[in-house]
Chains A and B, each alone.
Chain A
Amino acid sequence: MDKYYTFKIKRYLPDENPQTRWDEFRVKLNSIERVLDGLIKIKETRDGTLTFRKSCAHGVCGSCAMKISGKNRLACQTLVKDMPEMIEIEPLPALPVIKDLVVDMSLFFRKNDEVLPYLINNETPPERERIQSPEDQHKILESLTCVMCGSCTTACPIFWADKEYLGPSALLKAYRFIFDTRDRAKEQRLATINSEHGIWRCHSIFNCVEVCPKQIDITKHILLLKRLAVKRGFKGGVE
């Protein structure tokens, strides 16, 4: 069923005066089409200068995260039929905008680097792969599905106020390696997140959980990290 939708898009054009303006485009879309299809249609047929990130268009790469109707979502996962007739599209909040819907994600990725998002294990590698039991795998399974789109961190009111805060995404990444039985750099990571701008800044607001396109219960993971840090604090750093 075809229907007309109005896309109200917040533009940011650094070379123009004024730099910020709202543009409206009226496009006809099918009920099975997504917001991303609308944006592509606008770029192809109306205004070629409209800029946005997209890559896989199937909710795997996390490039097309943007604020759609007042909430961070992936444009490729949001069906237009679930949206109001007037769809408001803005770039992700709290990050510097480069152009239109493209934001500078370097701050976001720097926070991810802070928690050392890679496996550290200095033991002699076994002949084949490092084995992990299905039970141990299950502990980190949910955190593994993160696509690092940045929706959660930019939806967090604490991050809006404190740009030093690691943010839900980096903390989830920390969880993924701290609770990985094959990893040996637990102490280093715990020292990073157990700081002024680390886990204790999380106030269980659940904005990150609301927006996660992969339905990860991020707050649950941060609370588990908090409990681990408290436990270690009581036992003087030993488990």
Chain B
Amino acid sequence: MRYRLNIGSLTWLVHRITGIILTLYLIAHIYVLSHLSDPVTYNKLMDFLKNPIFKIFELILFAIVLKHLFGGIRITLLEIGFSTKYHKTMSYIGAFLVFIIWIVGAFYFLKEAF
């Protein structure tokens, strides 16, 4: 079914998708961590993760975490009584802050890599 998207439904959709990705990532993350018992396998994995391709994945994950975080703040503000008149403004401000923090964060991430 086709239905026109607006800011509210788009924000909700992004929040949902990032939430599902984070849940799956968390399961994988805990699974990998719980299987790292000896230093040899740990070092092997860390060397493997030094590959630049994982830096890109890390940056994508960082963006997803930020987007989900600010989506959550917006919903919390609405639920505790912030006026619904500003729900669109809050979406825009959230997206803007995600962008700024991501740029700053990406700078530090990549500085570490190269």
The residues of A with any CB-CB pair to B shorter than 8 Å are 67, 69-71, 93-94, 155, 157, 160, 203-207, 209-210, 217, 219-220, 223, 226-227
B16, closest chain A residue (CB): A203
A-B contact pairs, 28 of them (CB 8 A): A67-B3, A69-B4, A70-B2, A71-B4, A93-B3, A155-B3, A157-B9, A160-B1, A203-B12, A203-B75, A204-B12, A204-B84, A205-B9, A206-B6, A206-B8, A206-B84, A206-B87, A207-B3, A207-B6, A207-B9, A209-B84, A219-B78, A220-B83, A220-B84, A223-B79, A226-B79, A227-B79, A227-B80
CB distance from B95 to the nearest CB of A (A): 16
Contact B2 A217 (CB under 8 A): no
| B interface SS class | helix
Q: Which residues of B contact A203 (CB under 8 A)?
A: 12, 75
Q: How large is the interface on B (under 10, 10 to 19, 20 to 34, 35 or more residues)?
A: 10 to 19
Q: A157-B9, A203-B75 are known contacts; what are 18 more A-B pairs with Cβ within 8 Å?
A: A69-B4, A70-B3, A71-B4, A93-B1, A205-B8, A206-B7, A206-B9, A207-B6, A207-B8, A209-B84, A210-B8, A217-B84, A219-B78, A219-B84, A220-B83, A223-B81, A226-B79, A227-B81
A217, closest chain B residue (CB): B84
CB distance from A72 to the nearest CB of B (A): 9
Our pick among B12, B80, B81 for the contact of A205 (Cβ within 8 Å) is B12
Which of A204, A207, A223, A227 has most chain B Cβ within 10 Å? A204
Q: Complex formed: what's the CA distance from A217 to B3 in Å? A: 20
B80, closest chain A residue (CB): A227
Q: Mark B54-84, 1 if CB is under 8 A from A, else 0.
A: 0000000000000000000001001111011
CB distance from B22 to the nearest CB of A (A): 17
Q: Which residues of B contact A223 (CB under 8 A)?
A: 78-79, 81, 84
Ranked 6 nearest A-B pairs via Cβ: A206-B8, A70-B4, A220-B84, A205-B12, A71-B4, A205-B9
Q: Mark B18-34, 1 if CB is under 8 A from A, else 0.
A: 00000000000000000
Our pick among B3, B12, B75, B81 for the contact of A71 (Cβ within 8 Å) is B3
Q: Which residues of B contact A205 (CB under 8 A)?
A: 8-9, 12
CB distance from B79 to the nearest CB of A (A): 6
Q: Which residues of B contact A93 (CB under 8 A)?
A: 1, 3
Contact B8 A204 (CB under 8 A): yes
Q: Which residues of B contact A94 (CB under 8 A)?
A: 1
Q: Which residues of B contact A217 (CB under 8 A)?
A: 84-85
CB distance from A46 to the nearest CB of B (A): 25
Q: Which residues of A contact B2 (CB under 8 A)?
A: 70
B1, closest chain A residue (CB): A93
